[in-house]
A and B are shown apart, each in its own frame.
Chain A
Amino acid sequence: MMRCIPFGDRAMILRWNDGISEETNAKVIQAMHAIEKASLPGLMEMVPAYNELMIVFDARTTDFKTLQSAINSMDFSCDGITEEGREWHVPVCYGGDYGPDLPIVAAHCDIAEAELIARHSAEKYRVYMLGFMPGFCYLGGLPAALSCPRKERPSLKIAAGSVGIAGQQTGVYPLESPGGWQIIGRTPLPFFNPTRFWIEAGDYIQFVPVDTREFEHLQLQVAADTFDIHNFLHA
């Protein structure tokens, strides 16, 4: 059951049930796409979350009641358009200088480093939402066996592209930032790209181990902007 809740004088929240589930998140994203297609007047922005959709509107031209009415008359399930999320294969150079905390996580999980890499890169992680930083993906699906507490003392500087684990979560730092995640590798792909955001809620990520030579080759391409992000889309 979806409810509409006012959120101040220029926004509203569509809320599904509590908790995190792929099913609920899929409904959120489906609703977002359907509302977008409906081109409701005054709609400015939508932000999907695990089980909510935040809608920002222009209060000069519309209001909560008008949007609530329009949205409640929509049947998202019958929209006819089921947009499958895209699957991205994200190259990661695990361990070494790029993943200084790989040994720590492996030791905590009581598995060999090679096994940690194999299992971390075997999963398809769902992008539930983006937030916290531009380009930061909230990923679901980290196996419990690979979870590891975050650092007690956060690092002052984590490089952009760093792939980490913190508690039950895994993710990629889109920008250089201080942080407490355990860093197990790095990707050359620009998760924060001011000219183009390429990953969206509802997409999936699979990490693909690459060696340092491949990493540096890709890094040069990214720096020169001669790469095509679509090369990393799983066909």
Chain B
Amino acid sequence: MPKVYVISPGILCTVQDAGRYGFLRYGMPATGAMDEISMRIANRLVGNAPDAAVLEATLQGPSLVFEKDTYIAIAGAEMPSTLDGHTIPSYQTVRVKAGDVLQMGKVTWGARAYIAVAGGFRVPEVMGSRSTFLSAGVGGLEGRPLQKGDKLEYLCIWERIKAVRIPDEFLSWLRRDGPLLIYPGPELHRFTREAVFTLLTNPYTISAESNRMGYRLEGPALNVKKGLSADIVSTGVLPGTIQVPGDGKPVLLMADAQTTGGYCRLALLAKAEISRAAQLKPGDSLRFGEAQPEQAKELIKRCTMF
């Protein structure tokens, strides 16, 4: 199999796919692409199944050279990129010739970009997935971020790919503004009315203590009612859960989060909104809004539209 050679890895680049299910009960997070919707689009643009393994590039993308002709596509964050010295757009199927160098720059919109190659990146599967679980050092490329000098195999199907066209409407929807839509969590009733109101009206900022496991948010503290504890007996949690520890500062769990937790679950993001949250970086501001029942179906549909 031909290989992609890593000239420079960018800031944090890992192999991800749709994640691994079936092991949450053993404490193994699903991991996978933080912005699953963009991953699917990148894959569709090169004729792949939507959950083929891609590269997830954070804040600044890698520089790669391809051994053999293929197709690539980039979706998600906007990182000015060149191939063989020529500017290439994101959200498009791009023909790559053997020896072409892909150079990706610093992010200008969003946080995480997905690079798909026709046929998908081929690293060994661990527990049925090619996603990287950094905390345990398993999956993806040897359980770690890409480094200079790495060689990644790719399947290299370039003769007949069937790229899907992504409508402009969907692309605008991907870059939509507005509050992140949330549903009430099982411990919502433990919080004061002021806390719930604050959550739905006040902006929060992503702090520097944020990564694939979760984002610590800066902003007004959210308090539980007098006499109640912020701690609960450990329970299951999912990416998208907004946990609130004793200090009242919310934590938004993301793809690599622990599967269980002992803090109150105040709310959680609609699945489609996790993809949008994945495009936020430290310093960014965010707001939350209540998901309305009539929005729910549409949001779910959009998750797997491509």
* A residues with CB within 8 A of B: 5-11, 13, 15, 18-20, 32, 44-54, 56, 59-60, 129-136, 138, 174-175, 192, 194, 197, 200-201
Q: A8-B183, A59-B271, A60-B304 are in contact. Are A130 and B25 (CB under 8 A)?
A: yes
Residues of B within 8 A of A194 (CB): 126-127, 138-139
CA of A126 to CA of B144, assembled, Å? 34
CA of A131 to CA of B233, assembled, Å? 12
CA of A134 to CA of B25, assembled, Å? 9
Chain B residues numbered 153-199 whose CB sits less than 8 Å from any CB in chain A: 183, 185-186
Chain A interface SS verdict (over half): loop
Residues of A within 8 A of B265 (CB): 7
Let me know if B23 and A197 touch, CB within 8 A: yes
Let me know if A45 and B22 touch, CB within 8 A: yes
* B residues with CB within 8 A of A: 21-29, 126-127, 133, 135-136, 138-139, 183, 185-186, 233-238, 240-241, 258-261, 265, 268-271, 291, 296, 299-301, 303-304
Let me know if A8 and B240 touch, CB within 8 A: yes
Complex: chain A residue closest to B268, CB-CB: A8
Let me know if B271 and A9 touch, CB within 8 A: yes
Complex: chain B residue closest to A51, CB-CB: B233
A161 to chain B, nearest CB (A): 14
Could you show 26 A-B contacts with beta carbons less than 8 Å apart?
Answer: A6-B183, A7-B265, A8-B238, A8-B240, A9-B291, A9-B296, A15-B186, A20-B233, A32-B25, A46-B25, A48-B25, A51-B233, A54-B24, A54-B236, A56-B21, A59-B300, A60-B300, A60-B304, A130-B27, A130-B259, A132-B259, A133-B135, A134-B29, A175-B135, A197-B23, A200-B26
B47 to chain A, nearest CB (A): 22
B45 to chain A, nearest CB (A): 22
B182 to chain A, nearest CB (A): 8
Complex: chain A residue closest to B184, CB-CB: A6
A36 to chain B, nearest CB (A): 10
Let me know if A131 and B268 touch, CB within 8 A: no
A28 to chain B, nearest CB (A): 11
Complex: chain B residue closest to A3, CB-CB: B186
Residues of A within 8 A of B238 (CB): 7-8, 10-11, 54, 56
Residues of B within 8 A of A53 (CB): 236
Let me know if A5 and B186 touch, CB within 8 A: yes
Let me know if A134 and B271 touch, CB within 8 A: no
Residues of B within 8 A of A197 (CB): 23, 26, 28
Q: A15-B186, A50-B234 are in contact. Are A132 and B25 (CB under 8 A)?
A: no
With contacts defined as CB atoms under 8 Å apart, how many contacts are there between chain A and chain B in the complex? 124
Let me know if B26 and A13 touch, CB within 8 A: no
CA of A178 to CA of B299, assembled, Å? 39
Let me know if B304 and A47 touch, CB within 8 A: no
Residues of B within 8 A of A6 (CB): 183
CA of A14 to CA of B250, assembled, Å? 24
B166 to chain A, nearest CB (A): 20
Selected contact of A132 from candidates B27, B240, B296, CB within 8 Å: B27
A139 to chain B, nearest CB (A): 12
B225 to chain A, nearest CB (A): 16
B136 to chain A, nearest CB (A): 6
Let me know if A131 and B258 touch, CB within 8 A: yes
Let me know if B259 and A47 touch, CB within 8 A: yes
Residues of B within 8 A of A201 (CB): 25
CA of A50 to CA of B261, assembled, Å? 11
Residues of A within 8 A of B138 (CB): 194
Let me know if A135 and B27 touch, CB within 8 A: yes
Residues of A within 8 A of B299 (CB): 9
Let me know if B186 and A133 touch, CB within 8 A: no
Let me know if A132 and B260 touch, CB within 8 A: yes
Q: A131-B27, A201-B25 are in contact. Are A8 and B269 (CB under 8 A)?
A: yes
CA of A5 to CA of B22, assembled, Å? 22
Let me know if A50 and B233 touch, CB within 8 A: yes
Let me know if B236 and A49 touch, CB within 8 A: yes
